[in-house]
Amino acid sequence: MSNATLESGADMADGTARHGVEQLSMQQALNRALDEVLAEHPKTLVFGEDCGRLGGVFRVTDGLQAKHGSGRVFDTPLAESGILGMSVGLAMAGFHPIPEVQFDGFAYPAINQIVCQIARMNYRSRGTLPMPITLRVPSFGGIRAPEHHGESLEALFAHVPGLKVVSPSNPHEAYHLFKYAATRPDPVIFMEPKSRYWQKGEVDLANAEAGGGSPTDAKVMREGRHLTLVAWGAMVARCLQVAGLAAEDGIDVEVLDLRWLKPIDEAALAASVRKTRRAVVVHEAPLTSGLGAEVAQLITQACFDTLKAPVERITGFDVPYPSGDLEDEYIPNVDRILFGIQRVLEYRRG
């Protein structure tokens, strides 16, 4: 869907349009953000497999080649290592590359370029060769895709010094976090939750942070007092669903959207858990050495004296990311998260 067909005009309760607020899907919000970044920054280039004429597998780049030209939005060969290697050269030449790997599982062939070149070049050159590369990675599961089309690579990327990692949870976050990430002088891995591409929501185009704060802050998506659910990407919506169900039983759950997975907003994490005194971390990636372990350690370090129970992790399982129908058994569902909440609430010392 091109920008010309984007829906517009979110309405107030009295039926009047709210200025600058539109109902967009995440795919549309990202398309809008890319369009604006291309218009505002002449050195920006957008490329990847099928990103040009087709507009990408998920149509996130739809219409951008026709508007900005095939010299700035173009297709590449099916060679992820080449896509990222070319990004390094373009960044050295003063461009701002925005490459896309079509699916997260396709990032593996490009790991050498990401880890050994993109993440290190600024450090290696003592700041003379910054890498302003924004790598778009359609990520996580939930669309019943074949093997290698659904992965959760956040812990892998976050473990590499020199990389920043971010994952939006809704269209508003996608629009603003992408526009912020695309202007950074450092390489940013932008992990787009595939299962949320078509979910619509309000995007306040003029106001990134309704309650103030920084684009790098974690965000409280629902206030609560009994327990904090910590999540990112597609799991934020599921945690909000869980919080709604828990409220029916009188359990007041706070939902914290981490947004940036590196660096993590440690202050927001501590503030939320110090208030609720209990925490459950939810992610799709396998349990062992997942990012939830890092989050649990940060919570324990900051809130050890106030915690009423050990930090619980509800995650995928320690198996290869499954394809198709098995996803429903793998991805944390409402029941598994609710049981995790119950275990934490019922924990008694001794």
Query: Can you say how many angstroms the Cα of residue 125 is from the centroid of all Cα atoms in its chain?
Result: 29
Active-site residue, 149 included:
yes
Which residue in the list 68, 149, 172, 283 is annotated as catalytic?
149
Q: First vs last Cα of the chain: how many Å apart?
A: 58
Alpha-helical runs (H) found in the chain: 26-40, 64-68, 80-92, 111-113, 121-124, 154-158, 171-181, 235-247, 266-276, 291-303, 327-330, 334-345
Helix (H, G, I), strand (E, B) or coil at 132: coil
Q: Are 311 and 279 in contact (CB under 8 A)?
A: yes
The rounded distance, in Å, linking the Cα atoms of 220 and 229 is 10
Place of tokens 């002088």: 185
Place of tokens 């904090």: 228
Q: Are 207 and 35 in contact (CB under 8 A)?
A: no
- If 0-12 CB within 10 Å is exposed, 13-18 middle and 19+ buried, where does residue 346 land? exposed
The rounded distance, in Å, linking the Cα atoms of 322 and 146 is 8
* Residue 103 in tokens: 């699916």
What is the sign of the dihedral through the CA atoms of 108, 109, 112 and 118?
negative
What is the sign of the dihedral through the CA atoms of 49, 52, 54 and 59?
positive
* Residue 16 in tokens: 């009047």
Amino acid at 293: A
* Residue 250 in tokens: 């009188």
- If 0-12 CB within 10 Å is exposed, 13-18 middle and 19+ buried, where does residue 271 land? middle
Task: Please give the positions annotated as active site.
Answer: 149
